[in-house]
Amino acid sequence: MEDLTKGAPRIKAAIFDLDGTLLNTLPDLVVVTNTALENAGMPPRTEREILGFVGNGVKSLISQAVPEGTTPEELAKVYDEWCRLHHQLGTRLTRPYPGVVEMLDELKARGIALGVLSNKFDDGVQEVVAQYLPGYFTVVHGESAEIPRKPDPTGLRRSIAELGVTPEEALYAGDSPNDVRTAIAAGAFPVAVAWGYHTEEDFQAPGAEPSLMAHHPQDILALV
């Protein structure tokens, strides 16, 4: 994939997806999801299956994880249980990806405004960012009544405005094709990361090709 960093605009803000981009949350997602399923009398899923379900928010994860034929009422109960367990069990197995903290330190030192925009429910985003990456981000948003799930660009446009820059001065980095689509729709510089929950081949889909494929967090520093 072509590296377009030479033609990149002057970046003043960097906004990131969370799960699969800054933090490896998959081990905790497996524990919480399977506990919620088992508490509802439903069979557990493998880590590989759950990996295939992530990327579009908790409701999407749960709707794919429950057995076929699950009623909307049962689905809602599993979702509520998932959220309860997430708060109760915490994120004990979650860790930043190698190089992420160092990248954020350098971006902050260079005066780059930082933000997070995730499809995870907002309370969960606020909690895990405060726990594992405190003090870096001026703006942190998860899915809420005001922030619809990506690829809707509303949340990214709002985050860019809150950071006081134009879309052309912002990059958005994420590990899924929807993250790239979101960046393009918002007018930001789209960056895909290769270390997350999707393969590089996933970014060959129409409308999901990033301007930069980052193989290590340090690659993003080339933009600033």
Over the chain (224 residues), what is each successive 10-residue block's mean pLDDT?
54 97 95 97 96 84 96 97 88 95 98 96 92 97 95 98 98 97 98 94 93 97 93
| Whole-number pLDDT of residue 87 | 84
| Whole-number pLDDT of residue 2 | 43
Q: How far apart are CA 139 and CA 157, in angstroms?
A: 12
Active-site option among 3, 17, 122, 202: 17
User: Quick check: is 17 catalytic?
Assistant: yes
